[in-house]
Amino acid sequence: MTGPPFREVQKIRQVWWIMLIIYGVAGLMWLSFIRQVLFGRPLGTNPGPDWLMWLLWLLIGIGLPILFHTMKLIVEVTDEILTIRYVPFVNRIITFSEIKRCQARTYRPIREYGGWGIRGFGKSRAYTVSGTQGVELELQSGQQIMLGSQKPQELALAIVAKLSG
């Protein structure tokens, strides 16, 4: 018995307040850069050198928004494998023979994993973007993996279909 393939893409932009913080910090960096480098009015009584402002502007003012704009969690179930990609950080492939158990459930991100993102303690790992719904996998090795999902029932059904088929 083979189920249909499953693919879910979740973007960090689904959480508006995180983007507000990111763009707020980047905006402050832009203002600081413009004031010190372009207008020649250093910040504070002991300002950093202009080269440092350039570096911080590139990393925080430009790099941080680009990073968070490109970040996404992609979970794919095909006939052969389960793929977890947390772009641009993780690309993990799990074969169905590695999976011992699978269940959709509600979880508590902060209490169980220390928040959202790529998290984990010991043999427990979570790949989440937002919300409190997901699919928990137990691997043959004893490792627990939580996959955050906006469609946990569909994801669990797709995985279980591959386990039993």
d(C-alpha 63, C-alpha 128), whole Å: 22
The answer to whether residue 81 is domain-embedded is yes
H or E element, residue 45: none
Q: What is the pLDDT of residue 98?
A: 96
* Same domain membership, residue 140 and residue 119: yes
Q: How many domains does the chain have?
A: 2
The answer to whether residue 40 is domain-embedded is yes
Q: What is the pLDDT of residue 13?
A: 67
Q: Residue 110: which CATH number?
A: 2.30.29.30
User: What confidence tens digit (pLDDT) does each residue in 98-157 have?
Assistant: 999 999 999 999 999 998 999 988 899 999 998 999 999 999 999 999 999 999 999 999
Residue 1: pLDDT over 60: no
- Under 8 Å CB-to-CB from 26, ≥6 apart: which residues? 60, 61, 62, 64, 65
Number of neighbouring beta carbons within 10 Å of residue 152: 22
The answer to whether residue 3 is domain-embedded is no
